Structure 1
């Protein structure tokens, strides 16, 4: 994971949600406490080997979703000419990675797509990525592709003088 860490995902959307959507469909969801420990690299010695294996499998699913999200983001950024992978990673990119990966993990969600906040966040991320690819949006102050102010060529042009110095002396 280049643009987001497992710890970032433990913060938001959180281990509880991730344990529900990343566990294999035929299994009971991984205990959220175990998922939290797995995401943060904590102690998992109180769980059985089978439970830890299920948590590791869920983590692989999360990592796969993040890898897909990062590939999608890289595709948009490459179109604009960014050197990939980004380093340092702007917070915007971390947020978009989270939103897109979360959308991929919620593949079996139910409800109306037009009111689903996960779908809305995914679509918003794609809109911003398209704006970046089109050159209409910047990643912020540390944007490596944005033109630096010192590189901007400023030229001033003006018409010839209407009055000469001699004509203006009359007004003194």
Structure 2
């Protein structure tokens, strides 16, 4: 996973995730319970029914993370071996933006000024640039730091100018 549930608990935060990931027929998961669920903390203070609803919401979030990672891998596979063995901060941000967008897919808003849609579109644009080599994952980007890619080699067919070839011209 390029973004963890604990990172999502930080941003966009448990409240937003509880609101978009809880099934419509269930009561929205309590913010504190959702935060504890996302971070893997003790949840013994809540009822088993509440925990079951929180676990269902968590499953929806994890599914969205998987979809986001698949989208990221789809772009980056053109240039990198995927899944990436190292999680770069920029990739975490892309995964967060895409996951958030996927969880909000039923949201009705004006796309041109919606920060969730804007972040999703920005992630797509940067992924496309990374796939074509116009954007780097960072200073330790494996494509940029691979010594085989930086090696300069000269190949020759031999010496095209020999004395014999000059004599033939005379």
Report the TM-score, using the length of structure 1 for normalisation: 0.84
2:141 match: 143
Alpha-carbon distance in structure 1 between the residues aligned to 2:86 and 2:77: 16
Gaps of 5+ in 2: 155-170
Alpha-carbon distance in structure 2 between the residues aligned to 1:69 and 1:54: 23
1:103 match: 101
Structure 1 residue 58 and structure 2 residue 60: aligned?
no
Alpha-carbon distance in structure 2 between the residues aligned to 1:57 and 1:149: 46
2:152 match: 153
Distance 1:87 1:148, change over 3 A: closer
Higher helix share: 2
Secondary structure of 2:144's aligned partner: coil
1:47 match: 46
Structure 1 residue 125 and structure 2 residue 123: aligned?
yes
Gaps of 5+ in 1: 156-172
Alignment deviations for residues 79-111 of structure 1 (CA, whole Å, 9 cap, x no partner): 12x122212210000000000000000112122
Report the TM-score, using the length of structure 2 for normalisation: 0.85
1:169 match: none
Aligned length: 153
TM superposition shift of 1:140: 1.1
TM superposition shift of 1:50: 0.7
1:9 match: 8
